[in-house]
Chains A and B, each alone.
Chain A
Amino acid sequence: MSRLAAGGLIDRSQPLRFRFDGRDYGGFAGDTLASALIANDVRLVGRSFKYHRPRGLLTAGAEEPNALVTLRAGARAEPNSRATTIELYDGLEAKSQNRWPSLGFDLMAVNGLMSPLFVAGFYYKTFMWPAALWEKLYEPLIRRAAGLGALSGAPDPDHYDKAHGFCDLLVIGAGPAGLAAALAAGRAGARVFLLEQENELGGRLLSERHEIDGRPGHLWAREVADELSALPEVTILRRTTAFGVYDDRSYGAIERVADHLAEPLPGQPRQRLWKIVAKRTILAAGAIERPILFGGNDRPGVMMASAVQSYVNRFAAVPGRRIALFTTSDSGWQVAADLRAAGVEVAALIDPREGAAPMALPDVPLFAGGTVTSTHGRILRSIGVRAAGGRVTRIAADVLAMAGGWNPAMGIGCNLGSRPIWSEAIHSFVLKAPPPGMALAGAAAGRFSLAETIGDGLREGMAAAADMGHEGHAPPMPRTSDDKAGVAAPWHVPGGRGKAFVDFQHDVTDSDIALSVREGFRSVEHLKRYTTLGMATDQGKTSQVNAHALLAMYSGKAIVEAGTVLSRPPYLPVAIGAFAGHHRDADFRPVRLTAGHGWAVEQGARFVDAGQWKRAQWFARPGETGWLETVSREARAVRSGVGLCDVSTLGKIELSGADAGVLLDRLYINNFSTLKVGRARYGVMLREDGIVMDDGTTTRLAEDRYFLTTTTANAARVMQHIDYCRQILWPELDVQAVSVTEQWAQYAVAGPLSRRLLQYLLPDLDLSNEAFPFMAAAETRWRGVPMRIFRLSFSGELAYELGVPAAYGDALVRALMEAGRPLDATPYGTEALGVLRIEKGHAAGNELNGQTTAADLGFGGMMSTKKDYIGRVMAARPGLTDPDRPVLIGIRPVDRVSRLAGGAHLLPTGVPDIAAHDEGHVTSVAFSPMMDGWIGLALLRRGRERIGEHVRAVDLLRGTDVEVEICSPVFVDPEGVRLRG
């Protein structure tokens, strides 16, 4: 055990059990999986991506590239989880990844032996011969080796929530700067959101031994947190990471609600996606320590100094017995001091900076001006150190802590395109032009000392609050302990033994970058893409700046000339499920139900999706052997008796105003201003490019009031189009429009007995042909509520449509069924509706496909030549009036028994099945009980001139080839006698 006997912020009263790679261990509440592994002397935690090199923990934070594990098991398995950010819970189970058969003995490590071949970009240069082997051999091998962890393959059993936040000030990061900023703004009365990716607030104060106002820094953090919690306008979101900045001060953040539990509590989401709109933002996300580049810097036992400090101070877990430090930064000296204070032996402190001595370290062997040139042991046992004079010595050490300076964590500040710039003062990139409304504070701004950090937070917090009109007194600046921040430029030790790793997860070394430059990949973007640097799960948080430095060095430039890389969301990887929220599986999109849905369910309907609507597809009766029998029965009932169909899903729009008729004349190819009150008319509307947009009937309810219907699919689009026309094209017209699709339930009553049925229901109404002819419409009342009656027919039979307010739809359809009982009124669904309309040659969705003109569909004669309307001019273009265009016709199998298939293409008889002979395609097919066989509608080149001719309907996908006769698209009652009956 490497747990210190005392100290740290862990809760020793709460011991926890956990399992890693099948072995049981113990830890405490407050541990991360990483700190608990260290406390248990587990030093090998992962394998690298390419060479499968053994890797230990590098960091103690979200930037961890090495310690990726699969957390949990079964459907809750989470591959590639960073051990450094997993809060330990009782019963935690984790496994290492990317190794076979075991982490200690990984056969894939043979890749490491091949590393002289497997340099950057090697696969672009080989695997090309013989060509066939790439697909069959090489790529399958590469793919098998791909990836790190594995998904379970089972549906994610957890659910994800979404929330919206609106605030004056968003503070990202609850370290000293963020706490100070939130305190200043919160006390002034501003509405503040404070986001902290950990559960504990305090940031570096939890890991460093600073004093504020004479007390340990973490106690100050706790006091501030307590005060903030009590402020009514302050919201603290713990375990929450801001992952992206979007336009107009919108932020995306992810709250890990239940990831610290074995599984979410009942009803609890696993995570919550926050969409926050913040008038001001203070980015106080701290800084990330950068590694030093030297041979063997990836050996397990080589860690970041700040991580060592964090494990020792915060978790009381000591990663080694003899710890050496390789530092180019004053912060590394502080780590040495912390280790000594914890009683840990410091084997050496190597600082390449000549004469740097930020503090006295009495019993630590110092190598000023020295460098580390090698590391030894499968897990680190010793290091080679070159002293200032050039003498190389071997020093025993089981941990080497690297302190290469600090890179501000300003990632999301670059999301909107601001380029970071190089600062010679801190030897890293800083952000000088953050997005609108954002300020940076503390280490994120490149100001590292504790006093600067708190000062920044107080100042920016006050400023943001004042901007929002909240004036207050700034909290007093506390006294803080001394904190030196001297640092050298990114450090590379040339010519050492072994590979010097830049990107630890993707195994990109200094020599890969040299090769990349040699081959001309000299822009940062080319370098990243060629070497895959920064593309791993850590997104280059520890590698990017070092890579920049090497790129500049190898191409003989200064770092400022080497270009910059923008960062794009997300700052940390975010579960895909969180973005989807509740919109998954059956809840992917809303379900729209008509007023008569419950009735249809009782009738045994099977439903079909029509956009978001559920429509009854057919109503099977006991004993029927299949859908075709059911649908044919329903269609026959309409042709011979009476049927009932719910047509409520059609789009319904009311137009009113003195100019409503004028607008309709401009919307449709035919005229509506001439329509008589109490009459309906079928209309076709075009897009401005001359192609058919939609069709439907429009009824004139009064001089200045029209009611029009659209197809189910186009309801929203037509409404939008009408609003466009009346608000933008012709705002001078006096016309209002409103969608009433959901306000009215509407039912078709169709068939020769439909009039009798209606007379049972509405005995007082004169429905005779004389009083209420085809295309008549009337407003009446039924059971005290408004009712609209239309004599419309989609089926081609004597038919009516009845509309009532949606709340009465269910009552109406039941009343219709009751009234129709003596007539054996038959409910019919969309399939029978389809049969009936195909028999009548009515165009529907498959024909109104956005590629057909009115003339193609046989409506050429309706196109008015006496007025302007949308699409008129463009419909006259040569391409749209080409006599060779496919036009709507009917087809029947010549043998009268073959089945037709939608989507089959039409080719002449006696020619090969090649595109040169392609003359059209079948749009809709149905089995017609009236014709006693399959019929179809099709778009065929010059089709109307070819009635009677035979062609073939060829479906190569399903292997059918049916000789068909070209006929009129109207199969039943072409004279229209029945519908006027």
Chain B
Amino acid sequence: MRYSIFSLARQALSGHRGWRPAWRDAAPRDAYDVVIVGGGGHGLATAHYLARNHGITNVAVIEKGWIGGGNAGRNTTIIRSNYGLPGNIPFYEWSMKLWEGLEQDLNYNAMVSQRGVLNLYHSDAQRDAYVRRGNAMRLHGVDAELLDREGVRRIAPFLNFDNARFPIQGGLLQPRGGTARHDAVVWGYARAASARGVDIVQNAEVTGFLRGPGGRIAGVETSRGTIRANKVAVAVAGNSSRVAAMAGFRLPIESHVLQAFVSEALKPLIPGVITFGAGHFYVSQSDKGGLVFGGDIDGYNSYAQRGNLPVVEDVCEGGMAIMPMIGRARLLRSWGGIMDMSMDGSPIIDHAPVPGLYLNAGWCYGGFKATPASGWCFAHLIARDEPHPVATDFRLDRFAAGRMVDEKGQGAQPNLH
């Protein structure tokens, strides 16, 4: 059923008894053209674009738990394309373009809200780095504005301009950046993919790979039985190394926990997304009124989906450094997601080193914003066996070849990216 104010009104008259499940909770069939492992945003988006762009609908998305239960539901919902390297900018900008038309494409309101992403700078060197980045964005046709201190004050007068350890000098603003409702993105892609015939199979954990001639991947073993497939695509960020181990290879990735936080609901006070440049803190305010904020990863390998207190303190210190008005707001909930932290801070969308297997991994803490383009480009790779033009730098062999895409310049130390 198409969603609109009219269908909603019609249903209201009949006590909303006519709504059907948003997506089919399918039982797995024996075989598919493509099996996508991972029912998060990236896997579901991949299924949607396989069907929509390439006409490939004999597809199953296999999820070990409930769709959207991993990082798709454990992030801070930020969308932006304010990257600085030529390998990144076209990809994230394509994602932004897809965000801008997502609701109409999916017939699902993911509440994409472009209220701006502001990165504060606190030193001349940081300003120069942001200018370099902003100019790279502009050369790629991406919106970017440099604000001085007064420009920042106009947007965010509540920031700490008078008593800061590292005074705000200005900021780099991407007006089109913003937030989207993370769960709705998952449900919207699931509903749209399901409507085109994709099977969404929940509570099916992959336990191994089927091999065909020449060691080619021929399907997956799951907790709900064996499923054969011509192509198997993996989009399980956070757990990529575990799945890779089943297929017999290692990745330039470590799994790390990133915590995030939300405050009690407050009347609106923060316009867009604000990022502190001299500490680990970023914040936005949800449509419900909660301050959604986060900071650094805990910094050690983890699969536990929870973090520890020192990082909570560090993040709140950052918050109180630039927005001392939030001292009396209360932290309501925290959560931890497991990130695929890659060795250069950038993702991998490529053939796996095993034939028949496709890899979408290494999203670090930036996977949510990439969801639409990741699905789009991964579907392209799966359907055509060649990388999409905006994702050519996300190759797996870039590490051996010395062609890293390292925005922060931190090198092969994943917890520093």
Contact = CB atoms under 8 A, between A and B. Distances in A.
Interface of A: 49, 76-80, 116-117, 119, 122-129, 131, 134-135, 139, 142-144, 146-156, 158, 160, 244, 246-247, 250, 252, 273, 275, 415-417, 511, 515, 518-523, 525-526, 529-530, 532, 535-537, 539, 568-570, 573-577, 579-581, 583-589, 591, 608-609, 687-691, 845-846, 849-851, 874, 877-881, 901-905, 913-915, 917-918, 921, 923-924, 954-958
Interface residues of B, number: 121
Query: Which residue, of A151, A523, A530, A877, has the highest number of chain B Cβ atoms within 10 A?
Result: A151
A958 B146 contact: yes
A691 B409 contact: yes
A879 B320 contact: no
B325 A525 contact: no
B334 to A, nearest CB: 6
B145 interface: yes
A134 B103 contact: yes
B16 interface: yes
A688 B343 CA distance: 13
B267 A576 contact: no
Nearest to A573: B330
A631 to B, nearest CB: 12
B221 interface: no
A149 B266 contact: yes
28 contacts: A80-B264, A117-B12, A119-B12, A124-B3, A124-B184, A127-B5, A129-B5, A131-B101, A131-B104, A139-B111, A143-B287, A151-B329, A156-B320, A515-B19, A520-B21, A523-B69, A536-B265, A585-B321, A687-B412, A849-B409, A850-B409, A878-B401, A878-B402, A903-B135, A904-B135, A915-B86, A915-B136, A957-B131
Contacts of A591: 165
A523 B73 CA distance: 14
Nearest to B145: A957
A585 to B, nearest CB: 4
Given A124-B108, A579-B331, A877 B316 contact: no
Contacts of B287: 139, 142-143, 146
The 10 closest A-B pairs by CB, nearest first: A850-B409, A903-B131, A156-B327, A147-B289, A877-B402, A577-B327, A879-B402, A520-B21, A573-B330, A902-B128
Contacts of A153: 158, 269, 325
A579 B313 contact: yes
Nearest to A688: B412
The A interface is mostly helix, strand or loop, or mixed, namely loop
A156 B13 CA distance: 49
B320 A583 contact: yes
A509 to B, nearest CB: 12
Contact of A580 (B265, B313, B401): B313
B250 interface: no
Contacts of A519: 19-22
B8 interface: yes
A275 B313 CA distance: 11
A244 B406 contact: no
B45 interface: no
Interface stretch (B226-234, B238-246, B301-309, B366-374): B301-309
Interface string B120-159: 0011110111111111101111001110000000000010
Contact of B268 (A117, A135, A147, A846): A147
B208 interface: no
Interface string B57-97: 00000000110110001000000000000100100000000
B160 interface: yes
Given A142-B287, A151-B328, A156-B327, A880 B131 contact: no
Nearest to B134: A957
B222 interface: no
B162 to A, nearest CB: 9
A905 B136 contact: yes
B267 A149 contact: yes
A850 B410 contact: yes
Contacts of A158: 327
Given A128-B3, A520-B23, A76 B328 contact: yes
B327 A139 contact: no
Contacts of B107: 128
B392 interface: no
B326 A576 contact: yes
Given A151-B326, A914-B139, A244 B5 contact: no
Contacts of A144: 268
A591 B165 CA distance: 8
A131 B103 CA distance: 8
Nearest to B269: A151
Given A135-B113, A691-B409, A846-B125, A146 B333 contact: no
B325 A518 contact: no
B327 A904 contact: no
A618 to B, nearest CB: 13
B411 A687 contact: yes
Contacts of A958: 131, 146
Interface in B234-264: 263-264
A641 to B, nearest CB: 27
Given A139-B111, A148-B266, A915-B89, A588 B19 contact: no
B266 A79 contact: yes
A956 B202 CA distance: 49
Contacts of B128: 846, 902-903, 923-924
Nearest to A139: B113
Contacts of A957: 131, 134-135, 138, 144-146
A580 B408 contact: no
A111 to B, nearest CB: 14
B319 A126 contact: no
B412 A247 contact: no
Given A151-B269, A915-B139, A955-B131, A691 B411 contact: yes
Nearest to B24: A520
A586 B5 contact: no
A123 B183 CA distance: 13
A529 B409 contact: no
B325 A154 contact: yes
B54 interface: no
Contacts of A154: 325
Interface in B382-417: 398, 400-404, 406, 408-412
B331 to A, nearest CB: 5
B332 interface: yes
Contacts of A573: 263-264, 330-332
B248 to A, nearest CB: 25
B7 interface: yes
Contacts of A535: 288, 333
Contact of A905 (B19, B139, B267): B139
Contact of B132 (A569, A584, A905): A905
Nearest to A114: B12
A575 to B, nearest CB: 5
Nearest to A875: B402
Contacts of B328: 76-79, 151-152, 156, 575-577
Contact of B330 (A575, A901, A903): A575
Contacts of B332: 537, 539, 570, 573
A574 B309 contact: no
A115 to B, nearest CB: 9
A850 B406 contact: yes
Given A116-B12, A154-B325, A956-B135, A128 B410 contact: no
Contacts of A904: 131, 135
A570 B262 CA distance: 11
B346 interface: no
B131 A119 contact: no
A246 B269 contact: no
Nearest to A589: B165
Query: Which residue, of A49, A148, A577, A924, has the highest number of chain B Cβ atoms within 10 A?
Result: A577
B329 A575 contact: yes
Given A156-B325, A903-B135, 14 more contacts: A124-B3, A125-B7, A143-B287, A568-B306, A576-B316, A576-B326, A576-B330, A580-B320, A584-B321, A584-B327, A691-B411, A846-B128, A878-B402, A879-B402
